[in-house]
Chain A
Amino acid sequence: MSRNSKQWTQKPNLPSTHYADPKIYSDPAIFEEEKEKIFKKVWMLAAHESEVANPHDFRTYEHPGGTRLVIMRGEDMKIRTFYNICPHRGNLLVYEPSGNAKKLVCIFHQWAFDAKGDCVDIPRGKAGYQDRICESDVGLREVKTEVGYGGFVWVNLDDSCAPLSAHIGSALDYMMPELETEPLEVLWYYQATLRTNFKLIHDTNQEFYHDYLHYHNRITGMLDPKSGYFQRKYTAFPNGHASVGSMNVSYDAYTGSGHSTLGWPKLPPNGWKLVDLFPCITYNLRTSVLRIDSYIPLGPDRVLLEFRILGLKSDTPEVRKQREKDAATIWSPFGRNLHEDLLASSGQGMAMARGSDPMYVLHAREEDNLIHDEVGMRHYLEEWSAWMGRSSSDSTRKIADSKPQATAPAHQEKDVAQPA
C-alpha cells in the first residue's frame, strides 16, 4: 500500500537504533559539525609508508577536517606530517601530490623548511625582520602522526588525542597476521568524486545485504552453499569499528573473471576478510589483494573516495601483474563490483538530497549478526551519535556532550561472535 505524506515521514515502529534520520545524510549544518567534532579529532588514514619510501619523499593529503597536509620522511627515516601551508603568507608549500625534496621551498618568497618542519631559510631575513622574527619562530605546524596496522600513515589534527592504538583497539587483530607478515606496497592509488554523503558509501562496506546488487558476489558467494557466505558473522568493536568473518570465494563460478590462484600470506586460499573502521576507513583483504578505502567528505552531498590497492613489497613483476589483474576484475574503475557500489551510493545521494523529503532510513535487519544483519551500520551510528552528541535517529535530539577522543570512554565489546 502506498503512503501519504504523514505516513511517509513518520518514524518506523522500531527501536530508534534501527533507523536513521535522513537529515544526517544531507544537512549542511550537521556536516560542518561532523568536521569539528569528528574529523578534527579522529585518526585518519592518510597514506602508506611505501608512498614515502625514501628520505625526503613527500606526499600530500587533503584532510577531511579541511586542512591540507604534507607527509614527509626525514633523513632519520621518521615520517612526519605538517600543514601544507607556508607560515609566511599562507601559500601552499607543496603543489604536487608527491615528490622528493631535501627542503620544502615556498615558490612565493623562497622560505625553506626541512623534513623536521624547521624553517631553514628566510631570504633577506635579517634585512627585513631584523631581530623581530627569526627562523626558529616560523616552523611548520606538525600534526600527530603514527605508522602502523600494515604500514599505513595515520594522522590526527588534535594534539591532545589518544594514541592510535586506543582508537583501533582490537578491531584489526584478526587481520594483523596478514598485514604484518611482510612489508606491503601500494600498487594503485585512485580517487572517485561522488555526489553522495560519506556515510552512505561507507555503509556499502558495512552491510552485505547489498550483495543483491552484485552479480559477481551472488554467483561466487551467496549462491554457493560451500562458500560459507551465510555463515559470515559481524563482530562489533569499541569505537564504532566492525569486522566480517571470512569466507571462501568461488571465483570459478564467474566465467571470465580470469582470477588467479595467487593468494596472500596467512590468508586461507580464496579467503576474504574485511574490517570497517570509524569514521570511514575499510580494510578489505580478498584472496590476493588488499584494498583500503579512506573517504574524504567534501560536503554533505559530496565525497572524495580514496582507494589503494596493495600487494607485497617482495612481489616480482609477474606476481604484481597478476595481483593487478585480480584486483581489476572487481575493484578497478572498470571492475565488476566497484562501479555497482558507486552507482548505488550515488543513487542514494541523489534520492535523499537536501529538500527531497526522504523517509527514515532502515537499518533494521536482525539475523543473529550473520552476513545480512545490519548490525554493522547500527553499531557505526551509535558511535557517530556519541561523537556528535545528537541522535542519529532524530538529529534534533541532543543526547550528551560530544566526546573528544582523548577522553573517550572505553566501550564494552559487543556480545557477538568472533570472526571465523
Chain B
Amino acid sequence: MNTDRTTVEELVYQTCTALDRNDYSEFLGLCDQQFEYKVTAFSPEIRKDMTWLDHNRAEMEELFHTLPKHNSDHAPLTRNAVVYKVSYDNDKKQANVVTALQIFRTNLDGGATQVFAVGKYYDTVSLDHDKPILVKRHVKLDTRDLGWGNHIPI
C-alpha cells in the first residue's frame, strides 16, 4: 500500500482540474469501476440532510453523456481545493481524505468571478494499485442557494 500523502493529494487536485476543464473522460479515468458519487447538504430550515445527487459510475457516465443535449450554463467553474486531512485504513488499503472546497463561477461575458459554492469533499481513495484511485466522493455542501444551479457535478 502506497501511503505517500503527496500522491493522494495530487489525485484530489487532478479530479478538480479535470472537472474544471470539463474533461469527463479524464475525471472518470481517475475513478474506480465501483465509483460512487454523492452531493448532500444539511438544511437548518428543516434540520435534515438532503441528497441532491447520488450516482454510481454508470449513472455518472450517462450524466456526462447527456450533458450536451441539455441547455446548461456554460460559464466555467473553478475548484479551489485544499486537502485538510489524509487518514489511512491499512486493512482496506484505502485513504480517507477530507478536502476543503471553494467553487468559483466566472461569467463568460465580461469575466467577473463570484463564489458559486463552498463545502468539503469526503473522498475514499484506493491505494491498492500503482496509483491512487477515487472510489467514493461525498460532496458536503455548505452553500444551499446555488442560484440557477448547474448541470455539472462539482
Contact B47 A192, beta carbon cutoff 8 Å? no
Q: Given A258-B55, A325-B51, A336 and B145 touching (CB < 8 A)?
A: no
Question: Which of B11-19, B66-74, B92-100 is found at the contact surface with chain A?
Answer: B66-74
Measured between beta carbons, the chain B residues less than 8 angstroms from A51 are: 45-46
Contact A256 B58, beta carbon cutoff 8 Å? yes
Q: In the assembly, what is the distance between CA of A192 and CA of B61, in Å?
A: 27
Q: In the assembly, what is the distance between CA of A193 and CA of B147, in Å?
A: 5
Measured between beta carbons, the chain B residues less than 8 angstroms from A189 are: 43, 45-46, 50
Majority-rule SS of A interface residues: mixed
Contact A324 B149, beta carbon cutoff 8 Å? no
Asked if B65 is at the interface (CB within 8 A of a chain A CB), the reply is yes
Q: In the assembly, what is the distance between CA of A188 and CA of B54, in Å?
A: 14
Contact B148 A339, beta carbon cutoff 8 Å? yes
A149 shortest CB reach to chain B, Å: 19
Asked if A59 is at the interface (CB within 8 A of a chain B CB), the reply is yes
Which A residue sits closest to B66, measured CB to CB?
A256
Measured between beta carbons, the chain B residues less than 8 angstroms from A328 are: 51-54
Asked if B4 is at the interface (CB within 8 A of a chain A CB), the reply is no
Asked if A370 is at the interface (CB within 8 A of a chain B CB), the reply is no
Asked if B144 is at the interface (CB within 8 A of a chain A CB), the reply is yes
- Residue from B45, B54, B59, B154 in contact with A256 in the complex, judged by beta carbons closer than 8 Å: B59
Most chain A beta-carbon neighbours within 10 Å: one of B47, B144, B149: B149
Q: In the assembly, what is the distance between CA of A192 and CA of B147, in Å?
A: 5
Asked if A321 is at the interface (CB within 8 A of a chain B CB), the reply is yes
**A31-46 interface (Cβ within 8 A of B):** none
Asked if A332 is at the interface (CB within 8 A of a chain B CB), the reply is yes
Contact B66 A255, beta carbon cutoff 8 Å? yes
Contact A334 B150, beta carbon cutoff 8 Å? yes
Asked if A338 is at the interface (CB within 8 A of a chain B CB), the reply is yes
Contact A190 B147, beta carbon cutoff 8 Å? no
Asked if B91 is at the interface (CB within 8 A of a chain A CB), the reply is no
Asked if A402 is at the interface (CB within 8 A of a chain B CB), the reply is no
Measured between beta carbons, the chain B residues less than 8 angstroms from A254 are: 66
Contact A338 B149, beta carbon cutoff 8 Å? yes
Asked if B48 is at the interface (CB within 8 A of a chain A CB), the reply is yes
Measured between beta carbons, the chain A residues less than 8 angstroms from B145 are: 190-193
Measured between beta carbons, the chain A residues less than 8 angstroms from B50 are: 187-190, 309, 324
Asked if B112 is at the interface (CB within 8 A of a chain A CB), the reply is no
Q: In the assembly, what is the distance between CA of A324 and CA of B48, in Å?
A: 12
Asked if B153 is at the interface (CB within 8 A of a chain A CB), the reply is yes
A180 shortest CB reach to chain B, Å: 21
**B16-71 interface (Cβ within 8 A of A):** 39, 41, 43-48, 50-55, 58-59, 61-63, 65-66, 69-71
A49 shortest CB reach to chain B, Å: 12
Contact A333 B52, beta carbon cutoff 8 Å? yes
Asked if A342 is at the interface (CB within 8 A of a chain B CB), the reply is yes
Q: In the assembly, what is the distance between CA of A51 and CA of B45, in Å?
A: 8
Which B residue sits closest to A196, measured CB to CB?
B148
Asked if A209 is at the interface (CB within 8 A of a chain B CB), the reply is no
Q: Given A191-B144, A325-B51, A328-B51, A215 and B149 touching (CB < 8 A)?
A: no
A369 shortest CB reach to chain B, Å: 27
Q: In the assembly, what is the distance between CA of A98 and CA of B72, in Å?
A: 34
Contact B44 A342, beta carbon cutoff 8 Å? no
A194 shortest CB reach to chain B, Å: 6
* 7 tightest A-B CB contacts, nearest first: A256-B62, A342-B148, A333-B149, A332-B52, A339-B149, A333-B146, A188-B50
Residues of A whose CB lies within 8 Å of any CB of B are 50-51, 59, 96-98, 186-194, 213, 215-216, 254-256, 258, 309, 321, 324-325, 328, 332-336, 338-340, 342-344, 346
29 residue pairs of the A-B complex, CB under 8 angstroms, read A50-B46, A98-B44, A98-B47, A187-B48, A189-B43, A190-B41, A192-B145, A192-B146, A193-B145, A194-B148, A255-B66, A256-B58, A256-B63, A321-B54, A324-B54, A328-B54, A332-B149, A333-B52, A334-B152, A336-B66, A339-B149, A339-B150, A339-B151, A340-B70, A342-B147, A342-B148, A343-B71, A343-B72, A344-B71
Residues of B whose CB lies within 8 Å of any CB of A are 39, 41, 43-48, 50-55, 58-59, 61-63, 65-66, 69-73, 144-154
